[in-house]
């Protein structure tokens, strides 16, 4: 049996057992796509990442990302968590704290910020968002699925950042945190739209974040993603597209996972052209080897 280095990293937190856990296979050379999917089903986390040599000189490494059911071209917490794992293992030597990841969505820039370990965060460039037109009938479907009041949803949109999310803007963080939707209804709606899941957000007055966010994805093998990078990126793209980002600011922090006991924080930055970066802290909880046939 072959042993390969393995880490389990909590992303979007610096406190062990909070944030969003990620399994990282640090050298996936020789592991087939079928085996990667089997391993991802076995770890039973929202995503498992596999590090491979890059196929182009501009990249420092290549990343393949699997949920328990399928491969994704991009996801935020695997990109950030894998970079943390590689840096910690001494397998990545960035120039000026910057490097490039190759993945299914192309070449993406990453960088590390923070002068001390307590301040350290990793940030990743998000693939350019594609946003579908709004549909009033869809708003009414969402209200029915979540048990919301009539006209409580306005211009929900499907946003594609590699992972595809239906983004729903609610009136407040309180409304977001109180949601108790049916898993079957969410899965049916997600399947009918061909989306990864449904990300809901609301504005928070004061406190430690500007937004509260929740990402539901029962069709991906889990009812709710603890802290979702691509979901938060989709929210940022939605706000920019609707012209409502100015009320929050081009850089902000979002809170996610509190309802699951996985309290995490995502740092989001949007430039004038709509390009998005997400970032956060990481902590390693498991460090060792995985045995493969």
- CB-based contact 6:286 (threshold 8 Å): yes
pLDDT in tens, the chain (293 residues): 889 999 999 999 999 999 999 999 999 999 999 999 999 999 999 999 999 999 999 999 999 999 999 999 999 999 999 999 999 999 999 999 999 999 999 999 999 999 888 899 999 999 999 999 988 899 999 999 999 999 899 899 999 999 999 999 998 999 999 999 999 999 999 999 999 999 999 999 888 999 999 999 998 888 999 999 999 999 999 999 999 999 999 999 999 999 999 999 999 999 999 999 999 999 999 999 999 87
Q: Are residues 107 and 202 in the same domain?
A: no
- Residues 24, 157: one domain? no
- The radius of gyration of the chain from alpha carbons, rounded to an integer in Å, stands at 18
- Check whether residue 148 and residue 244 sit in a common domain: yes
Does 261 share its domain with 161? yes
Same domain membership, residue 113 and residue 70: yes
CA 176 vs CA 31, 34, 227, 275: distances in Å? 40, 37, 14, 26
229 with 252, same domain?
Answer: yes
Give the CATH number of the domain where residue 20 resides.
Answer: 3.10.310.10
| Structural domains counted in the chain | 2
Do residues 48 and 25 touch, judged by C-beta distance below 8 A? Answer: yes
On whether both 120 and 26 belong to a single domain, the answer is: yes
User: Is pTM, for the whole model, over 0.75?
Assistant: yes
105 lies in the same domain as 162 = no
Q: Report how far residue 50's alpha carbon sits from residue 120's, in angstroms, rounded to the nearest whole number.
A: 23
Residues 222 and 158 in one domain: yes
Among candidate residues 209, 189, 207, 206, the one with its CA nearest the CA of residue 197: 189
**Does residue 105 sit in the same domain as residue 143?**
no
8 A C-beta contact, residue 235 and residue 167: yes
Tokens for 3, please give them. Answer: 């042993």
Q: Which domain holds residue 118?
A: 2-125+280-292
Query: Which residues are known to be catalytic?
Result: 47
Two structure tokens written together for 141:
């479907």
| DSSP H or E run through 50 | strand 48-52
Shared domain for 261 and 140, answered yes or no, is yes
Give the helix, strand, coil percentages of the chain, each rounded to 5: 25, 35, 40
If asked whether residues 145 and 164 sit together in one domain, one would say yes
């Amino acid at each position: 049996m072959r042993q390969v280095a393995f880490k389990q990293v909590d992303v979007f937190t610096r406190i062990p057992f909070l944030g969003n856990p990620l399994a990282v296979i640090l050298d996936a050379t020789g592991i087939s796509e079928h085996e990667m999917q089997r391993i991802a089903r076995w770890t039973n986390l929202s995503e498992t990442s596999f590090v491979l040599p890059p196929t182009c000189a501009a990249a420092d490494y290549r990343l393949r990302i699997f949920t328990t059911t399928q491969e994704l071209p991009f996801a935020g917490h695997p990109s950030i968590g894998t970079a943390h794992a590689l840096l910690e293992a001494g397998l990545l030597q960035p120039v000026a704290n910057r490097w490039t990841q190759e993945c299914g969505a192309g070449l993406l820039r990453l960088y590390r910020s923070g002068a001390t370990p307590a301040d350290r965060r990793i940030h990743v460039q998000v693939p350019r968002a594609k946003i579908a037109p709004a549909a009033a009938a869809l708003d009414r479907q969402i209200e029915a699925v979540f048990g919301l009041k009539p006209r409580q949803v306005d211009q929900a949109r499907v946003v594609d950042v590699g992972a595809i999310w239906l983004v729903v803007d609610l009136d407040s963080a309180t409304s977001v945190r109180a949601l108790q939707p049916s898993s079957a209804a969410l899965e049916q709606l997600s399947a009918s739209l061909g989306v990864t899941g449904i990300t809901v957000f609301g504005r928070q007055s004061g406190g430690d974040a500007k937004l509260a966010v929740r990402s539901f994805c029962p069709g991906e093998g889990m009812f709710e993603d603890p802290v979702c990078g691509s979901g938060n990126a989709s929210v940022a793209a939605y706000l920019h597209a609707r012209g409502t980002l100015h009320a929050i600011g081009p850089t902000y922090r979002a809170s996610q996972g509190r309802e699951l006991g996985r309290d995490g924080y995502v740092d989001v930055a949007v430039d004038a052209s709509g390009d998005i970066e997400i970032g956060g802290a990481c902590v390693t909880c498991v460090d060792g080897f995985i045995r493969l046939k």
